[in-house]
Amino acid sequence: MPAIAAATRPLIHWIQRQKALDPLGEKVSGWVHAATRPKSVKNVLSGSWLGHQLHPMLTDLPIGAWGAAVALDLTGGEKTAARRLVGLGILASAPTALAGASDWSDTYGEDKRVGLVHALANASASALQTTSWLMRRRGHHMAGAALSLVALGLTLSSAYLGGHLSFVRGIGVNRTAFQEPADSWTDVATDAEITEGTLRRVEVDGVPVLLVRTAGTVRALSAVCTHAGGPLDEGTLDADGCVTCPWHGSRFRLQDGTVDRGPASVPETCWDVRVDDGRILVRPAG
């Protein structure tokens, strides 16, 4: 199947170069940012409560329902069941789109353009499925089935773009996933160097670690933001014991690395800290 990759690569590169998409992309992402400003909204849509992104999981619902409807259509299955599956897919596509829009709003440049085309294709597919559902309801089963088949093809083509963003471009991938520091204490600084309220970056086996002293206690987290790799040591320390990433505003609790605010969905790795003879030692928390 290398022919598929050879055929799609030029098309994706073409989309990535289409700067004409940028004004629309910026306008829509501005609306999405405004709608997701409340922490609770951003956290729900990002999957901060789930431990990984919500959107990829939700996509199974509309694709599964629409795929099953087409399977019934093609095998002479029960018409009412097929119509209900089309309707179920339409209902499921709404939260799926919202979660995807939230993720997409924090992308830039070429990724944002591919994501916009992905979204437009999905919106078109949902519109076709809605038309199909209405036609089926009025008794035009064959026309509805044909529309569903076309819409499913469009959805799967769009899913290919989504896969490109996730697996080729790494959008949504935990940026600390491949860090493998040694499971032993490492001397990283003198106790006096870590002053109250300042963010300090050190390295352990090539892994950046953030050291912070708050209320006299030194805390340590991985310094690479799990969302998209932002440098947490260049972020801000908040009065409530969280650090805010400078790139997209994710907030992590220093105490345990958990996400206080998305778009991050994966907690930061927490490190144990020990002070020995005026030296600070850290190791990955067990």
CA distance 69 to 87: 10
Q: Quick one: 154 or 228, whose CB is closer to ligand FES?
A: 228
Residue 263 CB, shortest distance to ligand FES, in Å, is 6
Residue 264 CB, shortest distance to ligand FES, in Å, is 6
Q: Which residues, in sequence order, are CB contacts of 229 under 8 Å at separation 6+?
A: 175
What CA dihedral angle connects 213, 215, 219 and 222, to 10 degrees?
Answer: -70
Q: Quick one: 16 or 250, whose CB is closer to ligand FES?
A: 250
Residue 201 CB, shortest distance to ligand FES, in Å, is 15
DSSP annotation of 266: S
Residue 226 CB, shortest distance to ligand FES, in Å, is 8
Q: Residues 110, 52, 162, CA angle at the centre, nearest 5°? A: 35
Pairing of strands 217-222, 199-204: unpaired
Residue 201 contacts residue 210 (beta carbons within 8 Å): yes
Residue 59 CB, shortest distance to ligand FES, in Å, is 22
Q: Which spans of this chain sit near ligand FES (rule: CB under 6 A)?
A: 225, 227-230, 245, 247-250, 263-264
Residue 221 CB, shortest distance to ligand FES, in Å, is 12
DSSP annotation of 224: B
Residue 41 contacts residue 190 (beta carbons within 8 Å): no
Q: Quick one: 56 or 229, whose CB is closer to ligand FES?
A: 229
Q: Quick one: 181 or 230, whose CB is closer to ligand FES?
A: 230
What CA dihedral angle connects 184, 188, 194 and 199, to 10 degrees?
Answer: -90
Q: Quick one: 213 or 261, whose CB is closer to ligand FES?
A: 261
Q: Quick one: 102 or 250, whose CB is closer to ligand FES?
A: 250
Whether the bond into 10 is cis, omega within 30 of 0: no
